[in-house]
């Protein structure tokens, strides 16, 4: 955090956050509720507004030995991106790579949807999907495509060792060019009449299944 804007009369969590920032030697600017409303992206801000430095890291700093790497390709919905970052954090993923022309990881809706996980899990940005895929393969990762028509169920796919799971655009999924770079494809089996899952829901299922396997061996 670089700077904090807070209403000194708000009390509660707002006062606690301001006190913690001041104790850490960070600048705290006292403002009125009206100023906070203008600074915040929400209609009714719930507390102080902070200015933070960008947190994305080079892809080289995402350690596939610590867990699966999530690669999100051409994701356009900020709520989806934030929700997947949150699931990746909760499931113990090594990091998230935002690849291709995707929504900005620092879009205010992404930040809110991540519920703080943007500050917990490493996030890397890669302009070219092929470059990200090659870098992860060089580091020993098996590249898995998550797709509604994947060849193997997520419950049966070989996900031993280092893996990177690629999720595609909400409307189009992964392009044939990206799928050609993969070692295997997997799907989430569905018993009902739905054709597919929302991106965030599918990612949560996949990531927690991989987490279950790591625990069970």
Segment 135-153 shows an average pLDDT of 95
Judged against a pLDDT cut of 80, whether residue 78 lies above it is answered with yes
Tens of pLDDT, residue by residue over 106-139, are 888 998 899 989 989 999 999 999 999 999 999 9
Structure confidence at residue 6 (pLDDT): 86
Tell which wins on pLDDT, 214 or 181: 181
Residues 158 and 70 grouped into a single domain: yes
Residues 71 and 106 grouped into a single domain: yes
How many CB atoms neighbour CB 181 within 10 A?
18
Residues 10 and 94 grouped into a single domain: no
Structurally, how many domains does the chain consist of? Answer: 2
Residues 20 and 119 grouped into a single domain: no
CATH number at residue 64: 3.40.1280.10
- C-alpha 5/C-alpha 32 separation (Å) is 9
Residues 111 and 210 grouped into a single domain: yes
Residues 160 and 83 grouped into a single domain: yes
Tens of pLDDT, residue by residue over 150-191, are 999 999 988 888 999 999 998 889 999 999 999 999 999 988
Range of the domain at 33: 3-51
Structure confidence at residue 1 (pLDDT): 66
- Directed axis angle between helix 199-216 and helix 78-90, to 10°? 10
Structure confidence at residue 63 (pLDDT): 93
Mean pLDDT, the chain, integer: 89
Residues 171 and 86 grouped into a single domain: yes
- C-alpha 131/C-alpha 73 separation (Å) is 12
- Do the Cβ atoms of 150 and 160 come closer than 8 Å? no
Residues 35 and 120 grouped into a single domain: no
Give me 169's structure tokens. Answer: 């655009």
- Residue appearing with tokens 């996900």: 159
Radius of gyration of the chain (CA): 19
Query: Residue 167: helix, strand or coil by DSSP?
Result: strand
Structure confidence at residue 54 (pLDDT): 76
- C-alpha 126/C-alpha 124 separation (Å) is 7
Residues 11 and 75 grouped into a single domain: no
Residues 38 and 118 grouped into a single domain: no
Structure confidence at residue 217 (pLDDT): 63
């Amino acid at each position: 955090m670089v700077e904090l804007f807070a209403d000194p009369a708000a009390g509660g969590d707002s006062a606690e956050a301001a006190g913690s920032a001041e104790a850490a030697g960070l600048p705290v600017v006292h403002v009125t509720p009206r100023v906070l409303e203008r600074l915040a992206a929400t209609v009714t801000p719930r507390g102080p507004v902070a200015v933070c430095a960008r947190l994305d890291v080079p892809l080289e700093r995402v350690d596939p030995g610590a867990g699966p790497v999530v690669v999100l390709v051409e994701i356009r919905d900020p709520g989806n991106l934030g929700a997947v970052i949150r699931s990746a954090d909760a499931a113990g993923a090594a990091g998230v790579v935002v690849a291709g022309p995707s929504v900005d990881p620092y879009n205010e809706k992404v930040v809110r949807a991540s519920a703080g996980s943007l500050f917990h899990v490493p996030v890397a940005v890669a302009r070219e999907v092929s470059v990200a895929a090659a870098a992860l393969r060089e580091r020993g990762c098996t590249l898995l495509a998550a797709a509604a028509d994947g060849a193997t169920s997520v419950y049966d796919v070989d996900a031993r060792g280092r893996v990177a799971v690629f999720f595609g655009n909400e409307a189009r999924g992964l392009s044939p060019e990206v799928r050609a770079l993969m070692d295997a494809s997997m799907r989430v089996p569905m018993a009902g009449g739905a054709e597919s899952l929302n991106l965030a829901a599918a990612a949560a299922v996949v990531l927690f299944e991989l987490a279950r396997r790591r625990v069970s061996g």
